[in-house]
A = this chain, B = another copy of it.
Amino acid sequence: MARIVVQEAPFDTAAEIARLTAGRTDIGGIGLFLGVVRDTAGGRPIVAMTLEHYPGMTERALGAIAAEAETRWPLLGCTVIHRVGRLMPGDPIVLVATASAHRQAALDACAFLIDWLKTKAPFWKREEFRDGSSAWVAARAEDDAAAARWLTPRRAAAE
């Protein structure tokens, strides 16, 4: 059962790892991805980024993505935390963590989760520029391509 959280507050990566592994000794590897707000967008400096989401559907979509990962890989734990609201460059924005007996499953599931999250979870980013203007971020074709490569699983789940 995956842990899915959508929140404005920062998250505690170490606490999330501890929670994933608490009391277990069957985990051999943890894959983790931490997304961070960058200070530029398309070469333009940004001062802040605001994340809007669709309450209710967001948790549902993240849960479905995590459930899909759990059918594809033998996961012993899975955490997805996504922040919303106004964030600054350098702020962590998303955490994906996966635990498995073997590293390949953990790493592949982690990459899968962030790729699918980017194209299937209802979040929208608005970037604020130095001159006071702001703009909604356009979806990227690369993200669609990254998500699409999981439609035909490339490698077996187990190491």
Q: Which residues of chain A from 94 to 109 have a CB within 8 Å of any chain B CB? A: 101, 103-104, 106-107
* B36 A21 Cβ-Cβ under 8 A: yes
Contact partner, A106, options B13, B25, B33, B89, Cβ 8 Å:
B33
A63 within 8 A of partner (CB): no
Question: Secondary structure at chain A's binding surface: helix, strand, loop or mixed?
Answer: mixed
**Closest B-chain residue to A30, C-beta based?**
B34
Number of interface residues of A (CB under 8 A): 36
Q: Which residues of chain A from 15 to 64 have a CB within 8 Å of any chain B CB? A: 17, 21, 24-40
Given contacts A13-B17, A110-B107, A146-B104, contact A34 B25 (CB under 8 A): no
**Closest B-chain residue to A36, C-beta based?**
B27
Q: How many copies does the complex hold?
A: 2
Q: Please measure, in the bound complex, the distance between the C-alpha atom of A102 and the C-alpha atom of B101, giving whole angstroms.
A: 28
* A35 B26 Cβ-Cβ under 8 A: no
Q: Which residues of chain A from 57 to 86 have a CB within 8 Å of any chain B CB? A: none
Given contacts A13-B17, A17-B13, A24-B90, contact A32 B29 (CB under 8 A): no
A14 within 8 A of partner (CB): yes
Interface of A with B (CB < 8 Å)?
12-14, 17, 21, 24-40, 89-90, 101, 103-104, 106-107, 110-111, 114, 140, 142, 146, 159
A29-B33, A30-B34, A107-B107 are known; give 5 further A-B pairs, CB within 8 A: A13-B14, A13-B17, A25-B89, A26-B38, A104-B146
